[in-house]
Chain A
Amino acid sequence: MNQTPEQSRMAVLIVDALNLEDIDPADIDPEELMFGDEGLALDSIDALEIAVAIAEEFAVHFSAKEETTREAFATLGNLTDFVMKEVNART
């Protein structure tokens, strides 16, 4: 479950945005589901907080309606890939 440097940065952003005091960012498995009863057990309010933090950090915005958004939030790996793709598309 090694994190890439981008995933590590995203893991820190999530832990900071949600005040997950008892979670070490390095312990978040990039492939593990983050929402529902699994993994970090996050919920929709957490997703909104993460989206605000990503908008501030990367100027990447999500659409609440698109299915790609749901997929992007599934795991740390997906979220990092989605955000990096958006960032790279700009440059």
Chain B
Amino acid sequence: MSKRVVVTGVAGISPIGTDWAAVRARLLAGEGGVQRMDQWSGVKGLRSWLGAPADFETPLRWPRKMRRSMGRVSAMAVRATELALEQAGLRDDPVLRSGRVGVAYGSSIGSTDSLREVGRFLATESTEGVTSNVYVKLMPHTTTAAIGMFFGLTGRLLPSSSACTSGSLSLGMAYESIRHGYQDAMVAGGADELDLPAVATFDTLYATSCRNQTPSRTPRPFDSDRDGLVVGEGAGTFVLESRRHALDRGATILAELVGFGANSDGAHPTQPAQRTMAEAMRLALADAGLSADQIAYVNAHGTATELGDIAESQATLEVFGRPVPISSLKSYIGHTLGACGSLEAWMSLEMLREKWAAPTINLENRDPRCAALGYVVGEPMRIKADYLMTNNFAFGGVNTSLVFRLPPREGTTPREPDA
């Protein structure tokens, strides 16, 4: 029998704050975290000098033997996980070492800072400075392994490293692990650190914003004057567990993850595909046993790239057939790559738990090629939602869609039987 999967802890490190109170204030004020990165202005050929850094330093109270094999990306992942486990009341629970709790986590690659050392080695053919920790910081599952080691987890270790769907794919993988009874609880999420390789990659695709003089005016998801994305950084972690497990230990249930859809384009490495994007959303709805009408809000991937925004909005309209309320949190935090799937899910969940949704900032005139959806603009919108959907898409043609159910509103829904 399949198990129901609930959220009992969630936290993030983001360009607009590292706790919900701070993030909430920035969202309500319409203040994004994009900055001009003057230190990049000397990089030959780079057109975009914009980034959305997170205010984060690796805590020195952590044991040195834990810190030495963590790059910035892993440190942010571990810190977000520490906060999420604390909220779930599981930080030092022996169940973490029982084999019944695992981790699904990922990033675009590993710590890009360690890439410098490997790059120097390859360029000079000298191993000078290359230590065993360099590879551990660089490997694709560096965040997954760091979380497992730091918290002593002994269950499944599932790397979800798939660029911009790392965070969302991990939530799906964790959900399925619990749903099918392989694990009682999972840590799940994604992270990425802000560095030049990602910026330069998008820059070469003419997909970065180059409004270097006006960082607060970009990115502009779905806007006719958008000129591309801004790379950000951060980490978002969910603690998922079976509803039974959460109820048995008296945990507070924040939400339920009820649907996951994932597929792939099987086509172009970087161009999005409307048809398979829409299909991923339908798969998530089918998994949740819901119709599109029951979803009150969609958190868009909304990168502010020309092709991405058009394909995504048209796919969303194709599935919903109505101007469903939608916004892109990337207008505040930039594209946090491996983190965005879980970071944006966290922020969406917190907003909708409080019955509001943030507007997409900088969206002033919808690109007529983007579908006519219910874009939240200007002011936060009051939304009473039972269900929300959050979508993410990645290079390589990866599409994911997640559907969360919010806890019953007080006094409106009778207590339901336990499953």
Contacts and interface: CB of A to CB of B under 8 A. Distances in A.
Interface of A: 18-21, 43, 45, 48-49, 52, 55-56
Contacts of B129: 52, 56
B39 interface: no
Interface string B55-77: 00000100011011100000000
A18 B68 contact: yes
Shortest Cβ-Cβ A-B pairs, 7 listed: A52-B131, A48-B132, A49-B131, A56-B128, A45-B132, A48-B131, A21-B60
A21 B67 CA distance: 12
Contact of A19 (B68, B128, B130): B68
Interface residues of B, number: 12
B130 A52 contact: yes
Nearest to B136: A45
Most chain B CB within a 10 A radius of its CB, from A21, A45, A56: A45
B131 to A, nearest CB: 5
B133 interface: yes
Contacts of A52: 128-131
Specify the main secondary structure of chain A where it touches its partner: helix
Given A21-B64, A49-B133, 9 more contacts: A19-B64, A20-B64, A21-B60, A43-B65, A45-B69, A45-B133, A52-B129, A55-B128, A56-B129
Nearest to A41: B65
A68 to B, nearest CB: 22
Interface in B119-135: 128-133
Contacts of B64: 18-21
Interface of B: 60, 64-65, 67-69, 128-133
18 contacts: A18-B64, A18-B68, A19-B64, A19-B68, A21-B64, A45-B68, A45-B69, A45-B133, A48-B131, A48-B132, A49-B68, A49-B132, A52-B128, A52-B129, A52-B130, A52-B131, A56-B128, A56-B129
A18 B64 CA distance: 9
Contacts of B69: 45
A45 B66 CA distance: 12
A18 B69 CA distance: 11
A9 B133 CA distance: 24
Contacts of A49: 68, 131-133
Nearest to B69: A45
A52 B68 CA distance: 15
Nearest to B132: A48
A87 B129 CA distance: 20
B244 to A, nearest CB: 40
A22 to B, nearest CB: 8
